[in-house]
Structure formats: C-alpha cells, structure tokens
C-alpha cells in the first residue's frame, strides 16, 4: 500500500527488497546483493561468484523482472 501511494505521488526510484513487486514503466529498481540472513536473523556475507549470481537471479524472479536497473553490493 505504501509503495502504491509512493508511485502515485511520483516517486520514480525505489531501493527495493526483492519481496516488493512494484510495477511502473518509469520506475528505477535498486536492489542489493552480497549478504544473506542467518538462522538467527543476522546478516552474513554471501560474496562468492555463485552466491552473487544466485542473488541477482532471485531478485529478478522475485521482482518479476528481466533486468535490474541498479544492483548495490553490500
């Protein structure tokens, strides 16, 4: 609901967790890779080439996109 209101208000850049699914043609999606949650909810490094590729692929799938505009490395 908050994201929908932001889009309606003219926001055009969202630093998105891959659990969000914003849909707007003029929206720039920014997401992050390089860490994953541990069993205790801590953030742990996930920086091997395979982990980074998996994170990008997961973001694409979870966001329903074919490309990501910006990927930040934690």
Instruction: Give one DSSP letter per residue of 39-68, joined into a string.
Output: TTS-EEE--SHHHHHHHHHHHHHHHT-S--
Q: Is the pTM of this model over 0.85?
A: no
Q: pLDDT by residue (tens digit) across 10-56?
A: 888 877 667 666 666 778 888 899 999 999 999 999 999 999 999 99
Give catalytic residue positions: 20
| CA–CA distance, 51 with 34 (Å, rounded to integer) | 8
**Total domains in the fold of the chain:** 1
Q: What is the token pair recorded at 36? A: 């994953």
Domain ranges, residue 15 = 2-73
| CA–CA distance, 33 with 56 (Å, rounded to integer) | 7
């Amino acid at each position: 609901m908050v994201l929908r209101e932001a889009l309606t208000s003219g926001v055009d850049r969202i630093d998105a967790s891959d659990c969000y699914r914003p849909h707007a043609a003029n929206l720039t999606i920014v997401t992050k890779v390089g860490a994953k949650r541990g069993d205790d909810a801590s953030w742990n490094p996930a920086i091997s080439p395979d982990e980074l590729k998996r994170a990008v692929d997961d973001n694409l799938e979870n966001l329903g996109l074919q490309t990501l505009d910006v990927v930040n490395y934690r």
